[in-house]
Amino acid sequence: MTPESSANSAPLDRELSLRLHHALTCGKEELFQVMLDPVMEVLGASLRNPSLDENHLLALLGRRDLTEELLRTLSRHDTVAESHQLKVALLHNPGTPATVSLPFLPHLYLFELVALAELPGTTPDQRLAAERAIIQRLPTTPLGNRITLARRATATVLDALMKEGDVRVVEPCLGNPRLKEASVFQLVASPRASGESITAVARNPRWGNRPNLKGAILKNPGTPLPLFGSLLPGAPVHELRDLAASGRLTGERKRLVAEELRRRGL
């Protein structure tokens, strides 16, 4: 290092040393100002300040420019370990890497997981992990919460809710704009689908007129007979012929299909 460069860096080193010392020793009120410092080293020093509390860390985690290294250090801090609010704030910070956030997911409440999955800054890995955590809890989730979840959930969670087949949950799922046709198709094509759930799909203004879904409803032996009969006049000829040849349909359904074919002169 030249004498000139040494002279230029000396004031900077002294300034940084003073800021580091201040971060380590200042009082509670001053520490809030330290949380705004642009240098990560200073922020790291502040984590060892005896006056540090939950409110300081909440202010720090509200920043969007924290490095992964600092966020990892934060995740190991005793105050974070003891605070539910700080765990949520850590997970909501877009810079938190998945390897840090995943172990904290079991500590979140159901709708905190939902909020995390919907958060714009959430990475695909974090979103997938949150969705898996939600789905794992579904068997023990009360009906009222599953209904609320059906109105808010992401497509992956909706798919799991639809597979349950409970019409009380299916109906709010059908109104969720994130629901995919593939999830609805799986429901109406399933031999485990209840007549009530199939009817809810058929009567839904968004889903009831989709050709693929109508076809699946007609092929499902669990479709209520009145609904089956009401769909036949609108069915394409090839579907009627497939139904007539199907081994899944018997009795009155076969008769109704044959009658519709005769009505069309086929």
pLDDT digit string, tens, across residues 162-204? 999 999 999 999 999 999 999 999 999 998 899 999 999 999 9
Average pLDDT over residues 53-76: 95
Per-residue pLDDT at 4 exceeds 50: no
Residues 6+ apart with CB under 8 A from 160: 135, 138
pLDDT at 11: 60
Residue 7 has pLDDT above 60, yes or no: no
What are the tens digits of pLDDT across the range 236-246? 999 999 998 88
The per-residue pLDDT for 5 is 46
Residue with tokens 């840090």: 100
Q: Would you say residue 1 has pLDDT above 80?
A: no
Tokens, residue 73: 């250090």
| CA distances, 30 to each of 35, 36, 45 (Å) | 9, 11, 14
Q: What percent of the chain has pLDDT above 70?
A: 95
Confidence at residue 125, expressed as pLDDT on a 0 to 100 scale:
82
CA–CA distance, 106 with 157 (Å, rounded to integer): 17
> What angle in degrees, to the nearest 10, is found between the helix axes of 110-118 and 124-137?
150
Predicted pLDDT of residue 197: 96
Q: Is the pLDDT of residue 50 over 80?
A: yes
d(CA 181, CA 164): 16
Mean pLDDT, residues 143-166 = 96
> What mean pLDDT comes out for the span 56-81?
95
Q: Return the DSSP state at 176.
A: -
- Could you tell me the pLDDT band of residue 12, with boundaries at 50, 70 and 90? low
**Nearest-10 Cα torsion for 127, 128, 131, 137:** -130
DSSP 214: H
Residue 226 has pLDDT above 90, yes or no: yes
The answer to whether 181 and 212 have CB atoms below 8 angstroms apart is yes
pTM of the model: 0.79
pLDDT for position 139: 94
DSSP structure class, residue 222: T
Domains of the chain, by residue range, sit at 39-140
Give the model's pLDDT for residue 248: 77
The 10 Å CB-count burial string (b at 16+, else e) for 237-262 is eebbebbeeeeebeeebeebbeebbe
- Tell me, what's the pLDDT at 224? 95
Question: Which pLDDT belongs to residue 250?
Answer: 79
Question: Over the chain, what is the mean pLDDT?
Answer: 91
- Enumerate residues 6+ apart whose C-beta is below 8 A from 219: 189, 242, 243, 246, 248, 249
Contact 135, 160 (CB under 8 A): yes
Task: Give the whole-angstrom CA distance, residue 79 versus residue 84.
Answer: 10
Between 121 and 146, where is the model more confident? 146
- Which pLDDT band, with edges at 50, 70 and 90, does 10 fall under? low
Task: Write the pLDDT tens digit of every residue in 99-131.
Answer: 888 889 988 999 999 998 888 877 788 888 899
